[in-house]
Chain A
Amino acid sequence: MSVVLNSEEVQQVLSKMSEQIRVSASEGEDIAFIGIRSRGEILAERLSEMLSELLGIEVPCGTLDITLYRDDLNSPSGDWQPVVRTTEIGFNIDEKLIILVDDVLYTGRSTRAALDALIDLGRPKSIRLAVLVDRRGREFPIQADYFGVKSDVQPGKSVKVNLVESDGKDEVVIE
C-alpha cells in the first residue's frame, strides 16, 4: 500500500479545484454540484461549501445514484451486488452548469452512467466533470475538466479514496 495523497494534500487539491472551478465559470453562471454515490457525494458537498465561500453565495449540491444506469447490471461478477439507493437532488437542473463529482475517474463507465442518469432528470446548460483522482485506463472517450491528482497505476491494483465522513481519515492510497 502506498499513499498518493495524505490528509493535508487532499485538502489542498480540493481547494485548488474549487479555485479552478471559480475561475472557469463565467460571470452569473448558475452552478450546482452533483456527487455520484457514495464518495463523490461527500466530495461534492465539500467543493460546494468551498465554492459557496469563494463566491459568497449558496451553491446547491445534490446526490446521484447511478445503479440503474450501469452497463454491468446483467453481468454481475461474484463480489459485486447492485444496491439501489436514492437520488437526492433538491433543485431543478435545467439551464444550470452542473459540476459532476466523483472520487476516481478510471474506465469512464460510471461517468457515462451518470451522464445518462442526469439527462433523465432534465436539461442542464452544460455538465463538467471534477474528480479527485484521474487514473489512466479509460475505456470510453471521457475526460475530467478538473482533477486533483493524476495516477498511472497498473490494472489489477486499486486506487482507494478514504474520506473523514465515511472512513475517518482523508487519504488516497494504492492497494
Chain B
Amino acid sequence: MLGLRDLDVSEINHILDTAEGFEQISTRSVKKAPPLRGKVVANLFFEDSTRTRNSFTLAADRLSADVIEFTQKMSSVSKGETFLDTARNLEAMGVDIVVVRHVASGASRLLSRSISACVVNAGGGFCEHPTQGLLDIYTIRKIKKSLEGLKIGIVGDIAHSRVARSDIWGMSKLGAEVILVGPPTLMPPKVDELPVSVSYSLDDVLEELDVINMLRIQFERMGGNPFPSVREYSHFYGLTGERMQKAKDDILVMHPGPINRGVEIESEVADGKNSVILEQVKNGLAVRMAVLFLVNQAAAEKA
C-alpha cells in the first residue's frame, strides 16, 4: 500500500467500502475485533507525526495486533544504523506489517522491495500520504454520496504536500474535478502533468467549489521565501469568515492538520458548521483499520 497513484477505481472503492464496516467498532462497548490477532505491526516513523502515528497505533490495537513503536530519536538510527538495516532487524523479530513514514519520497517503495513484510506508506517526502487521501475521500463520499462531478479545491502549499498528491490521484480517479489554488511559488513542479486545473486566486474559484481542502504552510520544509509575508498569504489565500460568504452553503471545509489558525484558516471557519475536520480524524481510524486488514489479507492469500 504505497500510494493512490498505483490503485484503480475498484481497489479504492473496495478500501472505502471495507472502512464502512470498521467504523462501528469504535462506537460499541468492546472497541476491538480479532482479525489481526497474533500479528505484529511496526510503526516506523523517521519523521515526527502525532495524528497519523496515533491513528495507526489505535487502528492496529483495535484489530488486536501487537504494535511496536519506533521513532528515530530513540533508536539505533541515531547510532548510525541504516534505514534498511533497521527494517530488516524488525523483520527478523517477526513483524508482519510495517507502517513507514520517512522524509524521502521513495522510502516505502524501497522498503517494500527489500523486506517480505507488508509495507504501508504513512507519508513519504513530497510524494504521497495514501491513508490521508483515502480518509479525505471517505469523508467526502460519506456526506456527498459520490465524488463524481464534484469540484474540489486544494488550497495552499501544494508543492510540499504529500496529502495533496494522494488527494489529486484518488479524487480525480473517482470522477471529481480537482482545482489547485495557491501562489505560483507553492505549485509543484510539472503541475501541468497532473490531472488538475490551477488557479492563482482563491476568490476566483471559491463560489463554485463543493469541497475545499486547506493545507498548512510547511515552513519547516521551505527554502527561500515563497511569499512576502504570512500576513499577505493569509490575505489572499486564508479561509476567513468573510470569504466563506461567497462559498456554497453546503461546502465541506477540510484540513489534514495540524492547523495553523489564523494563517490558512480562521478559527470561526475551522470550528464552523461547514467544517468536517474532526470527522476526517475519526474516519481516518476506520480507513486505517481497513488498510491494515486488507494488506494482511492480501499477504495471507499470497502465502
Using a CB–CB cutoff of 8 Å, the interface residues on chain A facing chain B are 65, 67-69, 73-76, 81-87, 116-117, 119-122
Q: Which residues of A contact B24 (CB under 8 A)?
A: 86-87
Q: Is the interface of A mostly helix, strand, loop or mixed?
A: loop
Residue of B nearest to A85 (CB): B21
Flag B1-38 by CB within 8 Å of A: 1 or 0 each: 00000000000000001101111100011101111000
Q: Is the interface of B mostly helix, strand, loop or mixed?
A: helix
Given contacts A86-B24, A120-B32, A120-B33, contact A73 B18 (CB under 8 A): no
The docked-state distance in angstroms from the alpha carbon of A73 to that of B303 is 12
Residue of A nearest to B300 (CB): A74
Q: Which residues of A contact B28 (CB under 8 A)?
A: 120-122
Given contacts A73-B297, A76-B301, contact A84 B30 (CB under 8 A): no
Q: Which residues of B contact A74 (CB under 8 A)?
A: 300
| CB-based contact A120/B29 at 8 Å | yes
| CB-based contact B297/A76 at 8 Å | yes
Task: Tally inter-chain residue pairs, CB-CB below 8 A.
Answer: 53
Q: Which residues of B contact A121 (CB under 8 A)?
A: 28-30
Q: Does B56 contact A (CB under 8 A)?
A: no
B51 to chain A, nearest CB (A): 24
Q: Does B293 contact A (CB under 8 A)?
A: yes
| CB-based contact A75/B300 at 8 Å | yes
Residue of A nearest to B29 (CB): A122
Which of B18, B300, B301 is in CB contact (< 8 Å) with A84? B18
A135 to chain B, nearest CB (A): 26
The docked-state distance in angstroms from the alpha carbon of A68 to that of B34 is 6
| CB-based contact B300/A86 at 8 Å | no
The docked-state distance in angstroms from the alpha carbon of A67 to that of B33 is 10
Residue of B nearest to A70 (CB): B35
Query: Which 5 pairs of residues, A with B, have the shortest CB-CB distance?
Result: A84-B21, A120-B30, A68-B33, A68-B35, A84-B18
Q: Which residues of B contact A69 (CB under 8 A)?
A: 33-35
Which of A86, A120, A122 is in CB contact (< 8 Å) with B21? A86
Given contacts A68-B21, A73-B297, A87-B24, list 8 more A-B pairs with CB under 8 A: A68-B293, A73-B35, A73-B300, A76-B297, A76-B300, A82-B297, A83-B17, A84-B22
Flag B96-135 by CB within 8 Å of A: 1 or 0 each: 0000000000000000000000000000000000000000
| CB-based contact B290/A84 at 8 Å | yes
Q: Which residues of B contact A84 (CB under 8 A)?
A: 17-18, 21-22, 290, 293
Residue of A nearest to B302 (CB): A76
The docked-state distance in angstroms from the alpha carbon of A74 to that of B22 is 18
B122 to chain A, nearest CB (A): 21
Q: Which residues of A contact B63 (CB under 8 A)?
A: 68
| CB-based contact B21/A67 at 8 Å | yes
Q: Which residues of A contact B18 (CB under 8 A)?
A: 83-84
The docked-state distance in angstroms from the alpha carbon of A119 to that of B33 is 11
The docked-state distance in angstroms from the alpha carbon of A87 to that of B20 is 9
The docked-state distance in angstroms from the alpha carbon of A140 to that of B286 is 32
